Amino acid sequence: MIKVGIVGGTGYTGVELLRLLVQHPGVDVVAITSRGDAGTPVATMFPSLRGRVHLKFEDPASANLKTCDVVFFATPNGVAMQQAPELLDAGVRVIDLAADFRITDVAEWEKWYGMRHASPEWVAKAVYGLPEVNRATIRDARLVANPGCYPTAVQLGFMPLVECGFVDLDHLIADAKSGVSGAGRKAEVSSLFSEASDNFKAYGVPGHRHLPEIRQGLSRMAGDAVALTFVPHLTPLIRGIHATLYAQVKVDADFQSLYEKRYASEAFVDVMPAKSHPETRSVRAANLCRIAVHRPQGGDTLVILSVIDNLVKGAAGQAVQNMNIMFGLSETDGLWQLPVLP
C-alpha cells in the first residue's frame, strides 16, 4: 500500500482528494494536515466521508509526513515551495496541486504570483503533470507540478492541433468558463451565493495567472512560441469548466480523425462524435475531459469544445492519475468513477 499524506486537507481539492483516495485499492491515507483545524475529525468537517475516513486533522508542524511515500499539497500558492523541499530531501515524493512549480521561468512566476520564490532550485527539477504529454517523465519524478484547471482543459483541447502545426499558432483564442468552486473554499464577496448565482461575467481579461502556464505548455508542444488570447469567465455552477477554443486553419486535414487518433489510447480523454456539444454535467465528479471538434460552415476557423470537472481532471483526479504513474500502478486505479447525472 502507498502511504499518503495530504497537506491542506480542508479545501475543495483536499476533500476531493480524500474522496478519491479512500476508494483507491492501493492507498492508505495516514495523515491530513490543517493548521487552523488541528484536532478536528475529518468526518466532522466533511460528513460525506463519515465511516470512510477516521483521521483527525493534524498540525503540519507535528504531522509525521516524512514516513509517507507521497505527499499531496492541496494548499494555496506559496505553501509548497516553503514546505516541500524538506520532504523531498527526506525521500518523500511530492505532488503539488498549487502553482508553485508549474512555470519554469522563475522571474515570470514571481511576476504573475506577486511573491519571491522560496525554492527555485526545485522548479528546474519538477515535472509538469499533464499525463497525456509527460507520462514518461512523470514516472520517475520526485516532484510533480499538477496542472491548473483552465490549463488542463485548454491544453488538451488544443494539443492535437498545436502538435501537428496545421493551425496558425500566432492567433489562438481560448474562451473559458468555470464554476465557483474554482475560486477555492474561502470567504470572498465574489463567491457569495447572492453574487455568483444568476450571474455571468468575464474576469482577468488583461491577464490571468493561468495564461503563462497555458502558453508555456502549448509552446512546448509546438516546439516554438505560441500566442494565445485567454479570457476566463465565472458561471453560476459549482463544478465544471467549459473551454471554447478557436484556431485558424493553415493546412487542411480531417481534424475529427486527427483528434480521435491522438487520444485513442487515453483513458481520460473522450473525443466525441462529429457535431457533438459536450456538457459540463457529462463529466461531473469524473476524471475525464470530453472534446468535440467543429468547423462551422466548412470555413477556416476550427472551434474545439473541451469540458472537465475543475476539481477532478482539473485538480485532484489528475493528481491521483499522476500518483498512479509515479508508483507503477494502472493509470486508472481509483479513478473509474462515472460522472454524476443529473
Average pLDDT of the residues in 271-292? 98
Average pLDDT of the residues in 311-325? 98
149: annotated active-site residue: yes
Question: CATH 3.30.360.10 region(s) of the chain?
Answer: 149-309
- The H or E element that residue 202 is part of is strand 201-202
Residue 95: which region, alpha, beta or left (left: phi > 0; alpha: psi -120 to 50)? beta
Write the single-letter amino acid at 265: S
Q: What percent of the chain has pLDDT over 90?
A: 93
Average pLDDT of the residues in 287-294? 98
HEC readout, 87-148? HHHCCCEEEECCCCCCCCCHHHHHHHHCCCCCCHHHHCCCEECCHHHHHHHHHCCCEEECCC
Rounded distance, CA 317 to CA 320, Å?
5
Write the DSSP symbol of residue 249. Answer: B
Average pLDDT of the residues in 276-300? 97
Cis peptide upstream of residue 342 (ω within 30 degrees of 0): yes
Q: Which pLDDT score, from 0 to 100, does residue 194 have?
A: 83
Q: Which pLDDT score, from 0 to 100, does residue 57 have?
A: 96
Rounded distance, CA 289 to CA 313, Å?
7
145 has pLDDT over 90: yes
Per residue in 166-199, pLDDT (tens digit) is 999 999 999 999 999 887 777 778 778 888 889 9
Write the DSSP symbol of residue 338. Answer: P
How many beta carbons lie within 10 A of that of residue 324, not counting itself? 22
Rounded distance, CA 37 to CA 295, Å?
51
Considering only residues 314 and 60, tell me which one the structure prediction assigns the higher pLDDT: 314
Q: Which pLDDT score, from 0 to 100, does residue 192 have?
A: 81
273 has pLDDT over 90: yes
Q: In the CATH scheme, what is the code of domain 2-125?
A: 3.40.50.720
Q: Which pLDDT score, from 0 to 100, does residue 61 have?
A: 87
Rounded distance, CA 141 to CA 325, Å?
10
Rounded distance, CA 82 to CA 101, Å?
11
Its sign, for the CA torsion 155, 159, 162, 166, is: negative
Strand order of the β-sheet with 93-96 is 27-33, 2-7, 70-73, 93-96, 143-145, 127-128
Average pLDDT of the residues in 98-110? 98
Q: Which pLDDT score, from 0 to 100, does residue 101 have?
A: 98
Contact 317, 12 (CB under 8 A): no
* Interhelix angle 12-21/317-326, nearest 10 degrees: 50
Q: Any idea which fold 149-309 has?
A: Dihydrodipicolinate Reductase; domain 2 (3.30.360)
Rounded distance, CA 177 to CA 237, Å?
10
CA distances from 275 to 2, 153, 158, 263, 306 (A): 43, 19, 17, 18, 13
Compute the mean pLDDT over every residue in the chain, rounded to the nearest whole number. 96
Q: Which pLDDT score, from 0 to 100, does residue 3 have?
A: 98
**Which member of 68, 149, 164, 289 is catalytic?**
149
Average pLDDT of the residues in 249-263? 98
Q: Which pLDDT score, from 0 to 100, does residue 193 have?
A: 83
